[in-house]
């Protein structure tokens, strides 16, 4: 089990650097030819990308190793990596989402065994925190930080209705009953968060687990029916718009009074609240009053891997070590990737006394929660989510029979090669 780790974080962004554009979303960091060049791919917002590029510039200055970065927003990144993985054109160092690691390397042979690379200092990681990167007994990936679903609210808007921040699911539905007269939703869910909240509710009310110990779906027709009834109720009672209609800008426009977010990503909502001179609040993990299982899980914010056949394993290892342990990279990133697990990176941030922000608060809530469990990587499988949301949409748009949709969804899930 991943050990709960809490390290304070803060940082300031170093001076902007001149970077030379080299194709769509690719840049070289030096004009001079370098004896060794390695490639690195990741996803992020514009702000996170610029901060990462700034850190990579310092890495090149310090190491003499040239880095060819490739980056994009999260949407579409997986499709790009799929093509690269199957065509052998993937980067030397890559950032992967949790479930992708096991999709790409089920036997533990696709990526370099990081414990064999002396240039990566893993002593900065507490015991148990690297278990999420183990595949078939090999350490093939190292996480930057941990993440969990976090509920964020416009406290000022809730206060205007005389409502407290929701402490459980009943509070959320009660808020919807009050707010919907003004066409305001108390929360906003993406398709992935529709799926994950339904999994949590099902586990809390039935005591059943969504996945077995081998990471295979353990759902029954009855479990899926419970989940679909819950999601349908969210739509019908106007707790949230449909996942296909999610628009994070709705928070700033006060079309919703809350949102679900990863713990590492709520900076946008904090900025929106500050612009409106309102107050933001982090809510607890929502449960039923008497739950049989907690239903909430933590996962890595992102995993760094090195391709097995890289021509420059030593240089790639130096880059990975810099990404996870360097004070310069940590300071450049601030809290945009969450709180780093590495004690070297976290202590560098702590020393600057800039511990603040909603990301920090969300991380502290996650890491101090004794009930939260390590996430099964299959929980974020896109095929699973698509199957579930198709059933939700069929019920909503086509008035399809819920029990029949549960059976059809289970049949599709059982045919997946997970």
Tokens of 285: 């993990």
CATH classification code of 147-298+381-415: 3.40.190.10
* Residue ranges of domains in the chain: 20-145+301-368, 147-298+381-415
The reported pLDDT for the residue numbered 355 is: 64
Say how far apart CA 135 and CA 164 lie, in whole Å.
44
Q: Which helix (H) or strand (E) holds 134?
A: strand 134-135
Do the domains spanning 20-145+301-368 and 147-298+381-415 agree at the CATH topology level?
A: yes
Residue 399: count of CB within 10 angstroms of its CB: 8
Locate the DSSP E strands across 263-417: 280-283, 297-300, 303-306, 373-374
The reported pLDDT for the residue numbered 256 is: 97
The reported pLDDT for the residue numbered 2 is: 37
Say how far apart CA 416 and CA 239 lie, in whole Å.
31
Say how far apart CA 165 and CA 153 lie, in whole Å.
7
Note down pLDDT in tens along the chain; length 418 residues.
Answer: 333 433 333 333 333 333 333 333 444 444 455 479 999 999 998 999 999 999 999 999 999 999 999 999 988 899 999 999 999 999 999 999 999 998 998 777 889 999 999 999 999 999 889 999 999 999 999 999 999 999 999 999 999 999 999 999 999 999 999 999 999 999 999 999 999 999 999 999 999 999 999 889 999 999 999 999 999 999 999 999 999 999 999 999 999 999 999 998 888 899 999 999 999 999 999 999 999 999 999 999 999 999 999 999 999 999 999 999 999 999 999 888 888 999 999 999 889 876 668 888 999 999 999 999 999 999 999 999 999 999 999 999 999 999 999 999 999 999 998 8
The reported pLDDT for the residue numbered 243 is: 96
Say how far apart CA 9 and CA 146 lie, in whole Å.
13
The reported pLDDT for the residue numbered 17 is: 33
Residues 169/201, Cβ–Cβ less than 8 Å: yes
Say which CATH superfamily domain 20-145+301-368 falls into: Periplasmic binding protein-like II (3.40.190.10)
Tell if the pTM clears 0.75, that is, is over it. yes
The reported pLDDT for the residue numbered 26 is: 41
The residue whose two tokens read 């190292």 is 142
């Amino acid at each position: 089990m991943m050990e709960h780790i809490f390290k304070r974080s803060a940082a300031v962004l170093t001076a902007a650097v001149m970077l030379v554009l080299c194709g769509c979303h690719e840049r070289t960091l030096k004009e001079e030819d370098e004896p060794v060049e390695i490639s690195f791919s990741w996803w992020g917002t514009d702000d996170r990308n610029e901060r990462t590029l700034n850190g990579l510039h310092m890495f090149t200055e310090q190491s003499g190793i040239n880095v060819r970065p490739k980056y994009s927003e999260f949407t579409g990144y997986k499709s790009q990596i799929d093509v690269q993985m199957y065509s052998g054109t993937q980067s030397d160092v890559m950032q992967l989402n949790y479930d992708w690691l096991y999709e790409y390397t089920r036997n533990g042979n696709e990526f370099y065994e990081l414990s064999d690379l002396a240039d990566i200092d893993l002593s900065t990681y507490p015991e148990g925190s690297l278990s999420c990167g183990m595949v078939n007994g090999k350490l093939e990936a190292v996480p930057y930080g941990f993440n969990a679903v976090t509920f964020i609210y416009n406290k000022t808007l809730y206060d205007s209705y005389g409502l407290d921040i929701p402490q459980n699911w009943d509070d959320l539905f009660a808020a919807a009953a009050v707010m919907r007269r003004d066409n305001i939703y108390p929360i906003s869910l993406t398709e992935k968060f529709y799926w994950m909240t339904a999994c949590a509710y099902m586990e809390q009310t039935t005591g059943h687990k969504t996945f077995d110990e081998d990471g295979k779906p353990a759902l029954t027709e009855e479990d899926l029916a419970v989940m679909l009834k819950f999601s349908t109720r969210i739509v019908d009672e106007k707790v949230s718009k449909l996942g296909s209609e999610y628009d994070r800008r709705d928070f700033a426009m006060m079309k919703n009074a809350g949102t679900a977010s990863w713990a590492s990503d709520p900076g946008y909502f904090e900025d929106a609240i500050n612009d409106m001179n309102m107050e933001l609040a982090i809510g607890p993990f929502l449960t039923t009053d008497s739950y049989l299982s907690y239903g909430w899980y933590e996962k890595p914010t992102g995993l760094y891997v090195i391709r097995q056949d890289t021509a420059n394993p030593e240089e790639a290892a130096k880059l990975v070590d810099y990404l996870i342990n360097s004070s310069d990279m940590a300071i450049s990133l601030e809290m945009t990737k969450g709180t780093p697990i590495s004690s070297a990176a976290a202590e560098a941030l702590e020393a600057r006394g800039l511990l603040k922000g909603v990301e920090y608060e969300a991380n502290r809530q996650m890491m101090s929660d004794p009930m939260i469990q390590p996430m099964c990587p299959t929980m974020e499988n896109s095929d699973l989510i698509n199957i579930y949301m198709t059933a939700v949409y069929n019920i909503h748009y086509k008035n399809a029979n819920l029990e029949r949709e549960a059976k059809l969804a289970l049949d599709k899930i059982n045919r997946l090669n997970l």
